[in-house]
Amino acid sequence: MINFNAGAWRPATGQTRAAQIASANDLVTRTLAQHGLTAGPLAGVPAGTGSETLTSALSGLMARFNPEGGTATPPADLPEGARFDDGSFACTAGTRRYRTYVPASARDGVTGLVVMLHGCTQTPEDFATGTGMNALAEQHRFIVLYPQQSRGDNAQSCWNWFSRGDQRRDRGEPAILAGLTREVIGRHAVPEEKVFVAGLSAGAAMAVILGGTYPDLFKAVGAHSGLPAGAAHDVPSAFAAMGGRADQSTTRTAPTRTIVFHGDADSTVHPSNGDGIVRQALDGGPAQSLQSETAGTAGGRAYRQCTTHDGNGLETVTHWVVEGLGHAWSGGQAAGSYADPKGPDASAEMVRFFFAPAT
């Protein structure tokens, strides 16, 4: 998945525009080379081109990182009484559409809310299909909220985790997502102590930001193939972070219960970013904690798991490293993009982590 901020390209004229094109071409060429790909100049893009054409050309090159991306068929055959509602939310920071899965089992009482942030090039329907989260919602009676990033706010439908204006409380996308979450909590009478956020890739990076900036709202975070908060502040540093060269002065965030999944064969977002999320989650955590490490095999893939418990026995941070897994949701459904049926079931483990009481 490619994290590219189309909003970074503004109309320019003359030498400024030509310099932008040359700089963009150099950035994309170097980045492709780092991933073993090649690209010539931005073919067919003359020096006088406008920003929309430039963005389109860059998006075409970025798509070369996305051999597995695409849109899956929306979830079908809903259980009788279940709903997959479409809606829109607006506030001073912006507007976003969303889907809400209300399980048929919710008639017996809603147990919580899981906000699911899709990755680049994905849609809420695709993400729901790939993660299988709706089936777990039926089993455990929680609501699932799938916010949708618009192409107008990012050409690759990525959440803008690397933009300074989208990394702080009450600003940009965090403000939109928090406001949308509060609206759904009120509409469905969700217990406020059972609200969680999870995501994949760019969505995971934004989930980590939400957990750190709104710990009063999101009680736990699930990050799959993501990056720590503050790992980047613009497009070049985003590419550097994805390649394993993240800003080492990790942003300090409020300690939030966090579960991390990352494949050790991920060539899009380097596995060291999973380590960074864990360090960030542990920083400022409980003074007394106990760590345990296990290894095993699930779904045909080996894994390593490190778990931290606080003094009350509550699982505060869990880190799964799945061997041989690339940039895809572990144990996911093959019908969705960026989903690998092999490996531990990340969705089930996140739900277990979110709702698990202290032992």
pLDDT tens digits for range 103-159: 999 999 999 999 999 999 999 999 999 999 999 999 999 999 999 999 999 999 999
pLDDT of residue 146: 98
Q: Both 40 and 92 in a single domain?
A: no
Q: Both 127 and 168 in a single domain?
A: yes
Q: Both 42 and 166 in a single domain?
A: no
Alpha-carbon span 198 to 203, nearest angstrom: 7
Q: Both 39 and 116 in a single domain?
A: no
**322 within a domain of the structure (yes/no):** yes
Domain count, the chain: 2
Per-residue pLDDT averaged across 322-329, rounded? 98
Of the pLDDT bands very low, low, confident and very high (cuts 50, 70, 90), residue 187 is: very high
Which structural domain, as residue segments, surrounds residue 28?
A: 6-65
What mean pLDDT value characterizes the chain?
Answer: 83
**1 within a domain of the structure (yes/no):** no
- Three-class DSSP labels, the chain: CCCCCHHHCCCCCHHHHHHHHHHHHHHHHHHHHHCCCCCCCCCCCCCCCCHHHHHHHHHHHHHHHCCCCCCCCCCCCCCCCCEEEEEEEEECCEEEEEEEEECHHHHHCCCEEEEEECCCCCCHHHHHHHHCHHHHHHHHCEEEEEEECCCCCCCCCCCCCCCHHHCCCCCHHHHHHHHHHHHHHHHHCCCCCCEEEEEECHHHHHHHHHHHHCCCCCCEEEEECCCCCCCCCCHHHHHHHHCCCCCCCCCCCCCCEEEEEEECCCCCCCCHHHHHHHHHHHCCCCCCEEEEEEEEEECCEEEEEEEEEECCCCEEEEEEEECCCCCCEECCCCCCCCEECCCCCHHHHHHHHHHCCCC
Q: Both 126 and 260 in a single domain?
A: yes
Q: Both 124 and 171 in a single domain?
A: yes
| CATH classification at residue 281 | 3.40.50.1820
**78 within a domain of the structure (yes/no):** no
**74 within a domain of the structure (yes/no):** no
Q: Both 183 and 41 in a single domain?
A: no
**310 within a domain of the structure (yes/no):** yes
The C-alpha angle with vertex 12 and arms to 7 and 18, in degrees rounded to 5, equals: 105
* 322: pLDDT strictly greater than 90: yes
* 293: pLDDT strictly greater than 50: yes
Q: Both 54 and 91 in a single domain?
A: no
* 61: pLDDT strictly greater than 70: no
**237 within a domain of the structure (yes/no):** yes
Alpha-carbon span 69 to 66, nearest angstrom: 5
| pTM attached to this predicted model | 0.81
Q: Both 58 and 138 in a single domain?
A: no
Per-residue pLDDT averaged across 176-185, rounded? 98
Q: Both 88 and 60 in a single domain?
A: no
**313 within a domain of the structure (yes/no):** yes
* 39: pLDDT strictly greater than 80: no
Per-residue pLDDT averaged across 52-80, rounded? 49
Per-residue pLDDT averaged across 164-171, rounded? 96
* 323: pLDDT strictly greater than 50: yes
pLDDT of residue 19: 47
Q: Both 158 and 195 in a single domain?
A: yes
Of the pLDDT bands very low, low, confident and very high (cuts 50, 70, 90), residue 246 is: confident
Per-residue pLDDT averaged across 262-274, rounded? 97
Q: Both 152 and 90 in a single domain?
A: yes
